[in-house]
Every structure is written in structure tokens, then in C-alpha cells.
Amino acid sequence: MKNILLDERFEFVHESMGGANFYFSTAYNEISFKIDENEGILNIDKLKEIINLKEIKYLKQLHSDIIKVNPKSEEIGDAIICKEKNIAIGVFTADCAPILIFDKDTKAMAAVHSGWRGTYKLILLKTLQKMKEEYGTKAENIIAYIGPHNGVCCYEVGHGVNEEFKKEDFYNNKNIFEGKNLNITACLRYQLHSFGVLEHNILDTNLCTYCAKDYKLHSYRKTGVNSGRLFSFLYYR
């Protein structure tokens, strides 16, 4: 994992693995990818130009378990699956977890947005299952990269959320809480392991959007409604 600057404006945590490029933006230079603001759309367009991509696909996110296969941009959902060269797919976050997935064999890709609601609804596991259904993806060929999100260090949730997770059979007897704090990373790893993804193919930026010291990151919990948005995306050539 290393940080790079694109066009001297955009800072990303970047990794190349298995033939794919994984990018997680920071809030360097106050850059935001909030797509309901003109700045966010312009920044997406600028990225496409800088990296020389045919297209960058993204969705109108709503904390669901809706998965779209090769969608037109701005359809509604929280996970995208695609396997086209030189087309990036990505998700927007400001405390929720972004997960980028690449199948080294079939070249299928997925970008998943998973806050507590998506995590409770098992959107990551459902996305992997959809990749298997659509493209024949096998667990041993998966690389999964978990991006910056509100860590267990800072992610206190209410009693209602705690009770919801306790009712979900998938999380029964799993260690996903530390006191009042929800461990999204642990939840995501349980979903990946359930599909059979190999431990050495699960990567994590290990960055908390609320308290990270090495990078400036957008956090809705810290900043409120004026928070910007991070953009996490991947592609292959």
C-alpha cells in the first residue's frame, strides 16, 4: 500500500495486485467526490481523463443490498459488478466501508458500499455470490481490499443496531462488538471467509475515517452534513 498524487491534486492510497489497480481517495486538498454537488462530478470526470479510462461507473447509493451488473452510471444500488477493460467501478463513502474485489481468473470486478445496514444485510457476501452466478467466480481467485471506514475504535452504535445484529443468524456467536462499538471489519471478514476467500487475499488499508493520523479522510460522524465523500475504485487494463 502506498500513497500517490494524481495531477498534483488527488491523493490516493493505491495498490496493484493480480492485474488490477485499487484506489482509495483521501481528503487531501479538501478534494471531495460528493456526486450531488458539481465539484464531485467534475472530480470524477477529471480522474477519468488523468487515468485514461473509457468510463467510471458508480451508483446512487442508499444503504441497501441492491447489486447491479454492468449498470449505467447513477442507477440505484450499493454494489457494482463488471468485467470490462479500462472501465473503473467505484463507491462513495464517508465512514461506511468500501470493499473492492477482483477475480484474478475471470477478471470480474466488484465495488461494494457497506455501512452498518449493508453489513447487516450481508451485501458483501451477496455480491460474491452474484459474481459466482454471473461470471463463475471461484473463492480462491478473489482479491478483496477493504478501504478506509469508521473503525471499531470509533464506531459506537445504538442499542437498536446491536439488537438487530444479534437477530441475524449469520452473526450468531460471532465476535463483532467491543462494548458499544461495532466492528465492521470483523463483519466483512466473516462474510469473505463464508464465501471461501483465502486469508492472504484479504487486504485492508487499516485506516479509520474518524481518527486516522497519517491521512486526512472525510468522516460524516466527525463533520456532519457538510462532510465530503471519499471515492474508492478499481479497474484493469
In this predicted structure, what is the pLDDT of residue 25? Answer: 98
In this predicted structure, what is the pLDDT of residue 236? Answer: 98
Amino acid at 1: M
pLDDT at 200 over 80: yes
In this predicted structure, what is the pLDDT of residue 43? Answer: 97
In this predicted structure, what is the pLDDT of residue 197? Answer: 98
DSSP H or E run through 12: strand 10-17
pLDDT at 73 over 80: no
* Tens digits of residue pLDDT in 11-57: 999 999 999 999 999 999 999 999 999 999 999 999 999 999 999 99
Q: Which residue has the cell 471467509?
A: 193
pLDDT at 104 over 80: yes
Q: Which CATH class is domain 2-236?
A: alpha beta
In this predicted structure, what is the pLDDT of residue 74? Answer: 78
The overall pTM is greater than 0.95: yes
Work out the mean pLDDT of the chain and round it to a whole number: 97
The Cα–Cα gap between 1 and 16 comes to: 9
Average pLDDT score over residue span 159-163: 94
Q: Which residues of 2-34 are buried (b: 16+ CB within 10 A; e: fewer)?
A: eeeeeeeebbbbebeebebbbbbbbbeeebbbb
Nearest to 16 by CA among 104, 89, 140, 90: 104
Average pLDDT score over residue span 155-162: 96
DSSP 90: E
Residue 72: pLDDT band (50, 70, 90) is confident
Q: For 61-85, give the DSSP string.
A: --SS--EEESPPTTEE-SEEEE--T
pLDDT at 196 over 80: yes
* Tens digits of residue pLDDT in 107-120: 999 999 999 999 99
